[in-house]
Amino acid sequence: MANPKAVVLLSGGLDSSTVLAIAKDQGFDCLTLSFDYGQKQRAELDASEKISKAFGAIGHHLLALDVTLFQHSALTDTSIDVPDFAENDQEEIPVTYVPARNTIFLSMALAMAESVGANDIFFGANIVDYSGYPDCRPEYIEAYEKMANLATKAAALGQKMHIHAPLVNLDKTAIIARGLALGVDYSQTVSCYRADDQGRACGYCDSCTFRKKGFADLGVQDPTRYQ
Amino acid sequence: MANPKAVVLLSGGLDSSTVLAIAKDQGFDCLTLSFDYGQKQRAELDASEKISKAFGAIGHHLLALDVTLFQHSALTDTSIDVPDFAENDQEEIPVTYVPARNTIFLSMALAMAESVGANDIFFGANIVDYSGYPDCRPEYIEAYEKMANLATKAAALGQKMHIHAPLVNLDKTAIIARGLALGVDYSQTVSCYRADDQGRACGYCDSCTFRKKGFADLGVQDPTRYQ
């Protein structure tokens, strides 16, 4: 019998690359889905393609999204600088928040899943490092799954859709440990919000800071390529 | 005080044009959002722009969506013919169903709403004529609204998002009566799944059949331009 198919949202960063490894390890044939939404760090798009191949995904899709929707985020708006890491108030929503991003990404994944007959979608939502992003919380993910199971023809015909967020409660150290055990080559992944076009990291943004600390806390060498 | 803003999903058809008129009548400043998802009937895109202007929308956006996602629907796949109307089993999902379409459209509208500070999204879901589309049912719309209110920064900060589907339980006759009372010029709207490039309708697809019957049952002249 063929393996079940899954759609995996893959940004090319540490988290989503680990998620791809987990989905593969769980026996899924994976289709990876990346988005060009005008993000300043373009190197993650190349990274996602390489990582998709490295994990033997059965297909990789890069979808362009109109950037005019994603205003007022430091990840897309060239008039807002991505800040260095600061200990944020946990209640505060970071300037790197992109309006409804995960909702749009999951909705595209849902369409793709239904088109290819997949009942499983994987994504790298995580609340430990990203507690300020509303669309990374477990209650959001549950609400999304409930909505998805009312939205599609597949669901109406009894094919339940599962939204998997296997990292949601893991800290960076645990994520890295899991990925290393599954063979993820983290030197290929690009997490930095200010990566250069070779995919080399700045070392100082929120994303770099969490990642660096993860390797340090785990006591393994940080394979990240820095600028 | 300025009017509140609303994002209105506008396909250029009879239903969504009526929804725009309703949103305007409720006192909203409307931003209209249309999608080019590779639909065969291109004339509806021109129609949506005209209708948006006619109702004084404060902005009209046409967003391109990658068509590779929307496979296996007669509305986008040139290898599947749009059928003439047939009395479908109410349980059956039509071949014109597009995977996760409303979920994607609403998610784009959600991003736009958050970007512009709107707390209201209007769309033309209707279960009377489209009982076979899972993503037109009230329970789907409720689940979407619940998810949306967990998804965004605006919601996390207490700005509740409302998803309005004012046509959901109206039949075509009631929709047309409502729109005529609000000044909708239905000769400008394009509902046909097989419209030609002047926006003239075939008269025989599901969409034409429902529309034609609506005007007939209301006892008003059908202003639709036919091929």
pLDDT at position B27: 97
pLDDT at position A65: 80
pLDDT digits (tens, 9 = 90+) for B132-154: 788 889 999 999 999 999 998 88
pLDDT at position A85: 55
| A114 Ramachandran zone, left/alpha/beta (phi>0; psi -120 to 50) | alpha
pLDDT digits (tens, 9 = 90+) for B171-181: 999 999 999 99
Kindly state the average pLDDT of the residues A62-75.
66
The set of residues, in sequence order, having a beta carbon less than 8 Å from that of B1 and lying 6+ positions away, is none
Please list every residue in chain B whose beta carbon sits closer than 8 Å to the beta carbon of residue A139.
150
pLDDT at position A210: 87
CA distance A155 to chain B (A): 9
Q: How would residue B114 be classed by pLDDT, with cut points 50, 70 and 90?
A: confident
pLDDT at position A195: 87
pLDDT at B35 over 80: yes
Side-chain-facing half-sphere of A165: CA atoms under 13 Å = 20
Cβ contact, residue pair B64, A63, below 8 Å: no
Q: How would residue A207 be classed by pLDDT, with cut points 50, 70 and 90?
A: confident
The set of residues, in sequence order, having a beta carbon less than 8 Å from that of B106 and lying 6+ positions away, is A107, B9, B121, B123, B144, B148, B163
For chain A, the three-class secondary structure string (H helix, E strand, C coil) is CCCCEEEEECCCCHHHHHHHHHHHHCCCEEEEEEEECCCCCCHHHHHHHHHHHHCCCCEEEEEECCHHHCCCCCCCCCCCCCCECCCCCCCCCCCCCCCCHHHHHHHHHHHHHHHHCCCEEECCCCCCCCCCCHHHCHHHHHHHHHHHHHHCHHHHCCCCCEEECCCCCCCHHHHHHHHHHCCCCHHHCCCCCCCCCCCCECCCEHHHHHHHHHHHHHCCCCCCCEC
Cβ contact, residue pair B111, A100, below 8 Å: yes
| B146 Ramachandran zone, left/alpha/beta (phi>0; psi -120 to 50) | alpha
Q: How many interface pairs between A and B have CB atoms less than 8 angstroms apart?
A: 133
Q: What is the pTM of this model?
A: 0.88
pLDDT digits (tens, 9 = 90+) for B183-204: 999 999 988 888 888 889 999 9
pLDDT digits (tens, 9 = 90+) for A28-56: 999 999 988 777 677 888 899 999 999 99
Q: How would residue A91 be classed by pLDDT, with cut points 50, 70 and 90?
A: very low
A37, A39, A44, A48 alpha-carbon torsion, rounded to 10°: -10
Cβ contact, residue pair B156, A69, below 8 Å: no
pLDDT at A216 over 90: yes
For residue B213, what are its two tokens? 């019957």
**Cα distance between residue A8 and residue B33, in whole Å:** 28
For residue B189, what are its two tokens? 């709207």
Task: Choose the weakest-confidence range: A27-41, A112-126, B56-70, B82-96.
Answer: B82-96
Contact A178, A22 (CB under 8 A): yes
Is residue B131 classed as helix, strand or coil in its secondary structure? coil
pLDDT at position B189: 92
Kindly state the average pLDDT of the residues B26-46.
86
Percent with pLDDT over 70 in chain B? 84
Q: What is the DSSP string of B136-163?
A: GSHHHHHHHHHHHHHH-HHHHTT---EE
pLDDT at position B159: 85
Of A64, A71, A102, the CB nearest to B115: A71
> Could you tell me if B89 lies within 8 Å of chain A, comparing CB atoms?
no
For chain A, the average pLDDT equals 86
pLDDT at position B155: 80
* Closest of B167, B187, B190 to residue B39, by C-alpha: B190
Q: Directed axis angle between helix B14-25 and helix B172-181, to 10°?
A: 50
Chain A interface, mutation test: which of B31, B153, B160, B168, most A Cβ atoms within 10 Å? B153
Please list every residue in chain B whose beta carbon sits closer than 8 Å to the beta carbon of residue A156.
93, 134
Kindly state the average pLDDT of the residues B77-85.
58
**Cα distance between residue A201 and residue A196, in whole Å:** 7
Q: State which amino acid sits at residue B221.
A: Q
